[in-house]
Amino acid sequence: MALRWPIVLFDFDGTVADTIEVIVTGYQHALRTVVGREWDETEVRGWIGTTLDESLGQAAPEQAERLIAEYHAWSRQNTDRLVRNYPGVPSLIWDLVAAGARCGIVTSRRRVSTDHILALLGLERLLPVLVADGDVERAKPDPEPVLAALEALGAEPEQAVFVGDTNFDLRAAQAAGVAAIGVTWGSGSVPSLAAHQPLALVPDADQLRHWLLPE
C-alpha cells in the first residue's frame, strides 16, 4: 500500500468515533436540566467541533458553568453505552499505520474523555499523538492545534492531510497549510463542507481509503 501523505491527522468526534448521539443528547440534557428547555437540534449539531466553553458558554453565558458540569456528568454515565466505531474506519487506520503513516488526533474534546473513548474503541495505540482542548490556547478553526500536532510529529504542513467532518476542521487545516479532506458521515452538512473547498468530500471509509492509500 502506498501512502499519499506520510502524516494523517484526524478530527475525533464525528470522524474517528461516532459520538454524535452522545454529544447531542448530552447538550440537550444539560440545557433542559439547567435552562429549562432544549435548543433546535440543527443548531446543536452545529456546535460539534467547538469546545464546551464556546458552545454551552454562548448558549447561556450566565449558566455556562452549571451547563458544562451537567453535560460532563451525563456524558460519564452514558458514553460507553452510546459511542461506537464508524464502519471501516478502524481498519483504515490500522492499514495506514501498517503502511508507515504517522497518525494523530486534533480535537476540541477534552483529553481525558478522548483517551477514554480511544481505549474503548481499541484505537489508542494507533493514534498516539493527541492535541485536545486545553493543550493549546486557541481551538479550531484556528490553525494552532493542527500546527501543534505537526510539531509533535516533527512534520511540515506539506507532508500532512487533515480529515474532519466540520467546517472548523477544514478551516483549521487550510489555515495551517495542510491538505483537507471532509467526511460526510459526521455532524457537518455537505453544503457547509463544500463551501470551504476541501481537496475531497467522501461519504464513507472506502472512499477515504482511495485518497489516503491509492493503489
Considering the domain boundaries, does residue 31 fall inside one? yes
Of 82, 107, 129, which one is at a domain's C-terminal end? Answer: 82
Examine the domain organization and report whether 63 and 168 are in the same domain: no
CA 177 – CA 12 distance, rounded (Å)? 20
Query: In which domain, by residue range, is 190 found?
Result: 7-18+84-212
Regarding whether 11 and 73 lie in a shared domain, the answer is no
Query: Which of 60, 82, 104 finishes a domain?
Result: 82
Q: Is residue 90 part of a domain?
A: yes
Mean pLDDT, residues 202-206: 98
Same domain assignment for residues 55 and 137: no
- Is 11 one of the annotated active-site residues of the chain? yes
Whole-angstrom distance, CA of residue 42 vs CA of residue 174: 25
Active-site residue, from 11, 18, 133, 165: 11
Strands 179-183 and 102-110: unpaired
For 90-147, the pLDDT digits (tens) are 999 999 999 999 999 999 999 999 999 999 999 999 999 999 999 999 999 999 999 9
Rounded Cα distance, 2 and 171, in Å: 27
Total domains in the chain come to: 2
